[in-house]
A and B are shown apart, each in its own frame.
Chain A
Amino acid sequence: MSYIYNLALNGSYLGEHVEIIDCHAHMGPHGEFHIPRNTSEWMIKIMDRIGVSKAAVSHCISLESDFKVGNAIVYEAIKKFPNRFIGYAVLNPHYPEEIEGELERCFKHYGMKAIKFHQSLHQIKYSSDFERYKPVLEYAESNNLTMLCHGFPSPKKLEEIARGYINVNFIIAHCGSWNMREELEALSAAKHIPNVYVDSSGSVEWYGAFEKVVAKVGSDKILFGSDFPWCNLAFMIGRILFARIADEDKRKILGLNAKKLYKI
């Protein structure tokens, strides 16, 4: 039986045994519902309990109201807890006049390492509004950045984007909720396009689905993501810890792949 499975079954601290980097975390409050314990201090406490060494975070304020305010709070968290938080710069295409300055601030001053797109909360369609993302994509291309995308466009558009920006690594989020019956284009894209990855986040955990994601995509192209504190970190990591896959695959998903993408 898997070593990691046994550790999890005992509720053991994992940090000494496997490097865990959460590629999809948030921070801060949410208007629609209560997110308890959403501060950087609480997040570190929760990460330490499980053994998660780093979390890549975007702030809920960035996603739901003022992207610059949220980015600044993430910067404060990075300063307060060195080497524990990886900053996602959130850029809201509805404010094109502020994008260039915020990119400079986030990457030159704040030390952020990646970009987060949330086309759902920002209500930007890849199909019709894609031009509005171009300045950010071009910046990412020039600086070899990783981008975490809440969703994804049509397979054709995703392929067009990914092949057009070959220095950008795209992580397509929430593939952990795949229900196995409907075709999930992100999975085949991750399988066939070198710079497309998926993350394991997604609150609905259909029995047996995660193993099928791994079989379909391969463990080299999947990153652990929790959506924490939007969701519960321990709940979301369970699907990997208990998955019926090899420990070698679990280690890649839990942290090794993220290390490569974030260059840490």
Chain B
Amino acid sequence: MLKNEIDLFDCNSTIGKRAVRNPGCAYTPKDIASIMDYYKISRALISHAMCEGNGPFPGNEILLSEINEYDRFIPCWVLLPNSTGELGDKKISDLVNEMLERGVKAAKIYPYNHRLCLSEWCMRELLSTLEEHRIPLLMDFGIVHYSEGSWKIPWNDVYEICKNHKNLPVILLRIGGNVNRNLFPLLDKFENLHIDISYYISNGGLEIICEKFGASHLLFGTGMPTYSPAGPLSMLLYSDVPLRDKKMIGGENMDRLLKSVII
């Protein structure tokens, strides 16, 4: 009944092999699509696990070839600032234009696992270019257990990015449930700040964010295939918020962000 009215769009999933594999953990597009079927997830914004392990290339290229036959997978490229030349000889602006031409409308960074400083002196060119096109920027801080959310997320840097790049949609992934004291003041200040609910296990946190700051800040995400969609899906379905908000969180917000990208 309720479920059928929510079009689920997972903003946080990957394909591809990782160095460490949990027993039975899926990694092919086909197997991940099968998990999505079980949980009734229509679409997934997806990046390649190789990019987390080895940097953007060749993982970004492999991603496009592997999901080519699947309309339900929406590609997301992993990026870095290019001071080292790891993205090739192209300028960031040219790379982002190429990315858009090839249908990639979202970007992801791994500040913790890629040892990236998020300050302007390191990130300005990349952030400004993404902002120019309003490309959603997902940030994965490598949080496994919720207790890491308070120290792996550089809250001051998140504040500065949201303040200096107001047209950049910022999405914090898998932030854990012990972050409200730092998260709420940021949500209060910045409309461009979002979180995915894949691991936002705060009791009543989803409801409070909807009430105080608006459901537009929340996106359905799973962390699949490493983590299970069961928790975030159950939390969304049983949350004490209007159906309108559930639909926004479930998929409409991610759709809106992607539709707002300026080609």
Contacts and interface: CB of A to CB of B under 8 A. Distances in A.
Contact of A46 (B35, B177, B202, B203): B203
A42 interface: yes
Contacts of A206: 22, 226-228
B3 to A, nearest CB: 5
Contacts of B129: none
A180 B226 CA distance: 12
A81 interface: no
A33 B179 CA distance: 7
A227 B259 CA distance: 39
A235 interface: yes
B226 A207 contact: yes
Interface stretch (A6-14, A151-159, A162-170): A6-14
B237 interface: yes
B95 interface: no
Contact of B227 (A205, A228, A229, A231): A205
Given A203-B145, A205-B231, A235 B226 contact: no
B1 A233 contact: no
Interface in B172-206: 176-181, 199-206
A218 to B, nearest CB: 19
A32 interface: yes
B167 to A, nearest CB: 30
B208 interface: yes
Given A208-B228, A238-B230, A37 B203 contact: yes
A110 interface: no
A46 B230 CA distance: 18
B228 A231 contact: no
B178 A33 contact: yes
Nearest to A11: B237
Interface in A171-215: 179-181, 203-210, 212
A230 interface: yes
Contact of A10 (B3, B23, B226): B3
Nearest to A5: B38
B11 to A, nearest CB: 17
B240 interface: yes
Contacts of B224: 207
Contacts of B19: none
5 contacts: A32-B178, A38-B203, A181-B20, A203-B146, A205-B231
Interface of B: 1-4, 20, 22-26, 35, 38-40, 144-146, 150, 176-181, 199-206, 208, 224-235, 237-240
